């Protein structure tokens, strides 16, 4: 499948998905959001893809935000629909994807860009990155899950400060807050992400799918995370991956999991 705003490279069970709109600092417009949905859906269905790394093209930005020109004249109804549709087809979709997604934050991650990074399963940042949710300076609030995911990651007080001040934090502060897992020099960012992805890719895709589901359940007000974990734990016992993993352990060899 060919994409206008995305590039995909796949090697050694790792897919690198790059948002390629450098002239717009990789800003998210409706077309790019739709393409990202299709790309994630496609990669999630490919048996040989075990981990996805998401990044932006160039050295300036991961995603510098949403394309404001697209919604500047929207009505209340259209605005609500924009948020609802975007969360459905991309941000919630990525958060609940069965394939682990690492955000490689290679520069500015602002507004919808930071919201997209937060929807990924975890984040690794270059040392020149800047992150923030500046929406209130435009008379609006984060609409792609930012008011929910940021407090989950950094705590309510810090999230309130970042959102209400509309200010950016640097990579060092993001690491201190727990917003990112690691900070490396920009030239080392992709290699670091690939190294982490390679480690992840050796594990059971089925077990990782249920681990993602169980962790996410703990952050849903209407779902019992412990019950979800117990049920998923039991389901794993009936899978080919469990049989292969336990057999390999007992035979003192490396497991070769069947895949998705």
Tokens for 97, please give them: 């994807």
Question: Pick the catalytic residue: 115, 176, 187, 229?
Answer: 115
Q: How far apart are CA 193 and CA 149, in angstroms?
A: 22
CA 95 to chain CA centroid, Å, is: 6
Question: Pick the catalytic residue: 135, 176, 244, 251?
Answer: 135
Q: Count of CB atoms within 10 A of residue 185's CB?
A: 10
Active-site residue flag, 135:
yes
Q: Tokens 């990579």: give the residue.
A: 171
| 132 class by beta-carbon count within 10 Å (0-12 exposed, 13-18 middle, 19+ buried) | buried
Strands 122-126 and 101-105: parallel
Active-site residue flag, 176:
no
Active-site residue list: 115, 135
């Amino acid at each position: 499948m060919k994409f206008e705003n995305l590039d995909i490279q796949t090697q050694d069970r790792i897919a690198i998905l790059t948002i390629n709109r450098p002239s717009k600092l990789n800003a998210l417009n409706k077309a790019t959001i739709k393409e990202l949905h299709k790309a994630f859906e496609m990669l999630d269905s490919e048996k040989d893809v075990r981990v996805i790394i998401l990044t932006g093209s160039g050295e300036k930005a991961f995603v510098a935000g949403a394309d404001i020109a697209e919604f500047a004249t929207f009505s209340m109804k259209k605005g609500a629909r924009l948020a609802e549709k975007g969360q459905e087809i991309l941000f919630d979709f990525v958060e609940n994807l069965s394939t682990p997604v690492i955000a490689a934050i290679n520069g500015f991650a602002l507004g919808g860009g930071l919201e997209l990074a937060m929807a990924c399963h975890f984040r690794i940042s270059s040392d020149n990155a800047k992150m923030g949710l500046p929406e209130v300076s435009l008379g609006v609030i984060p609409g792609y899950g930012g008011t929910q995911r940021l407090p989950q990651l950094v705590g309510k007080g810090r999230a309130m400060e970042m959102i209400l001040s509309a200010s950016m934090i640097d990579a060092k502060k993001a690491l201190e807050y727990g917003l990112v897992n690691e900070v490396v020099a920009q030239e080392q960012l992709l290699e670091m992400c690939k190294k982490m992805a390679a480690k992840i890719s050796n594990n059971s895709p089925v077990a990782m799918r249920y681990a993602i589901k169980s962790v996410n359940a703990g952050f849903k007000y209407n779902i019992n995370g412990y019950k979800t974990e117990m049920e998923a734990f039991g389901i794993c016992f009936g899978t080919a991956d469990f049989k292969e993993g336990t057999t390999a352990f007992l035979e003192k060899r490396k497991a070769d999991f069947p895949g998705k």
